[in-house]
Structure 1
């Protein structure tokens, strides 16, 4: 292995979330990870691999305690640990705990166990590395998330709100996932932000778990809801004698088609009747719900931080860190699962993304159909290196086939025609050398 000079190249990955109860133990990107580590094992660069938090899903292990979780990881993923050993013989590997694997900071035995595989476990919240006359600041980022902030770092008994969510919800999903018509429930850990979980569950129930006969029976009603709502209003106006022309015109028009026209009229009549009843009940319920929500907001009853701003707190943290030490050029974090790069006055803030599946919400354009959560992979490593007096940051994509053909039903694929997400990685960026702090970056809008 090389030294720690300022010409060193850094490869950064994060949020692998390897391990967990039952179905959560299935690492769908294991082949790609082994290939990436194998490439580093043969590189001629003076390189260091930084695993920037949440490498392992220790919170999601609910049937073993303490360092016994390492034994489970070691026996479950022998190829991974042997590859880490081989890669660590050629490049330095630094592992930083995140929130999901915070226990790595709580037991000194973990340091010794990882050292056996040439992995340097740092039991701190952050660390820095020199590059091109400047400094890179590394941290996982969960300390800026009120649901996952760990105030007493290294305490094995610490339990922020996110801990309970993952031990009670995520781990349970891993235990139950294979009971479904399709093994989908384990993907709950890929749903971000967390408040989308209820609508995601509704979506997967409708498109995956609902009896197909019932689903296809409901489709015409749900697809025609918008039209039916308008017709229900028109039918109401006809009943009270205010405006009968649309009903008379529709009856005359459909009458030209005989039996087919009668069938269409019958279907519309059912939709209009049901929709009319829903409108009669739904409108006052909507007004009541809105008034209750306003009252709750006024009293602050639900100000628990469940809905987390995914960007502002990290930008504030980046500005503080970059401004504290003039030589710091890059604030590198993970946690949010969104590969993102932004130029600030003081330098660059860079998110290393996730190796988990990403789910992109696509709302229906018509009717009342649940949204579709379109799956994709966005595997990547962030490469940070000195480059002709500057610090260059770029994302190296790691190819993996899209899971959408197997994981989306025919109905979901039809509803997302022309709406497939295109999660491009940010473009290459540079920060000027030791005497300058100007950063230049071009970042495309990334869809969720």
Structure 2
């Protein structure tokens, strides 16, 4: 173990989601994780690594049950478990269950098996750690999510709504992913919120699975749809004799270019006709859909959706913890996969993000092309330690990993997202309490 003297320093990671059926078993960040663990193995500080839930994707295993899932993990990732053993000889490693690996709290055998690799499994919903005269509250965060809350903690048969989504959708995607022209379906876990799933599937079909000939034939029409819709209205006004000037001038202008002008006129006419037909059908369908949605909302049929506010439940949970235990300076959680900080009542709310790939939706600027889901990594560990003046500091340490953009986006997708790449910068270092107040520091 490292030197026991001095203040403890906590490194926090979460949402690794290691393991699962077939393609879900691929860990794209394995080398980066091993490198991070090797760095902690060599530290001279008094460090504790807190793995704050969803270290493993136990929900994503459908062919094995109970403690057998751990056997599969060890067999599949021997290098990882040996590195955990080596790092655990130098520092303390504490593991909390999340929703995807809630079974860690359901079988006592997991405690003993993980202890063999120097990992201290705490099968509780939360833990606290001291930083000076303040404390840090750690929990995965799924207990604040009604779709993934485990009402009967420790029950191996607990099946919240999120469990069914994973067994019916996520694991099936892992089993089918390698059948595509490109192995993209395994990224289903990176699609958040879950309501974006149909849009993501449509996007990947268009850019990855659709016949290239068909896709490139559709692109001009989809790009010109907005213009064609306007021209369809203008053409309608010409047909009924209200306003003929735009059509007459367009005909005269294109007529100057001979055969090329005729071809352009034909292409434009086809676009206008299709756009006009879609408008005739689409407008009443839109009005009908809006009226049905209002009726559904009025009856409250879908009062509980799959989308959970990324901040509100955790702000409320943190406020409760801060009120009941005033010495708590930091409420640290994961689950939502969004690395961010927020000040609450003079204390700090910290989300540790995810090591999975993240997908950022980028809608087309013009036309009705499907949105592009831009991939990125935001691998990070949060370092929490005592700060000067009696405060507590939280700082994100980035673990570098090359962007998957070139390999995973088609040329068409890259062209449509030029200049619209997501900002993957991590939050600044923040100090709370003591003399520093709650201001970010460089």
Would the TM-score normalized by the shorter structure come out above 0.5? yes
Aligned to 1:254: 254
Change (3 A) 1:43 1:4: closer
- 1:101 deviates by 0.1
Residue matched to 2:440 = 441
Q: How does 1:195-206 map to 2 (within 5 A)?
A: 195-206=195-206
Displaced runs of 4+ in structure 1, greater than 3 A? 2-6
List aligned pairs for 1:263-342, cutoff 5 A.
263-342=263-342
Please, which runs of 5 or more residues in structure 1 have no aligned partner?
444-448
Q: Distance in 1 between matches of 2:427 and 2:41?
A: 26
Aligned length, in residue pairs:
441
Q: 1:439: Cα distance to partner?
A: 2.1
Match of 1:417 in 2: 418
Unaligned runs of 5+ in 2: none
Structure-2 change in CA distance of 1:420 and 1:168 (3 Å): same
Contact map agreement 1:233 1:276 (CA 8 A) in 2: yes
Q: Which residue of 1 aligns with 2:148?
A: 148
| 1:446 alignment counterpart | none
| In 1, Cα distance between equivalents of 2:107 and 2:144 | 24
What is the deviation of 1:335? 0.2
Partner Cα distance (2:295, 2:305) in 1? 18
5 Å-filtered alignment, 1:47-446, equals 47-388=47-388, 389-433=390-434, 438-441=437-440
Question: 3-state DSSP class of the match of 2:206?
Answer: helix
Distance 2:94 2:235 in 1: 69
Residues 209-251 of structure 1, C-alpha deviations (whole Å, 9 max, x = no match): 0111110111111000000000000000000011000000000
The SS at the match of 2:330 is: strand
Give the CA deviation at 1:432.
Answer: 2.0
Residue 2 of structure 1, CA deviation: 4.9
Q: Using the alignment, how far apart are the partners of 1:3 and 1:367 within structure 2?
A: 62
- The answer on whether the counterparts of 1:37 and 1:84 sit within 8 Å (CA) in structure 2 is yes
Indicate the RMSD between aligned Cα atoms, in angstroms: 1.3
TM-score by length of 2: 0.98
Tell me if the contact between 2:346 and 2:432 (Cα under 8 Å) persists in the aligned partners: no
Partners of 1:105 and 1:4 lie apart in 2 by 29
Instruction: State the distance in 2 between where 1:79 and 1:297 align.
Output: 51
SS at match of 1:385: strand
* CA–CA separation in structure 2 for the residues paired with 1:437 and 1:416: 40
Instruction: Show CA shifts across 1:376-396 (max 9, x none).
Output: 000000000112222111000
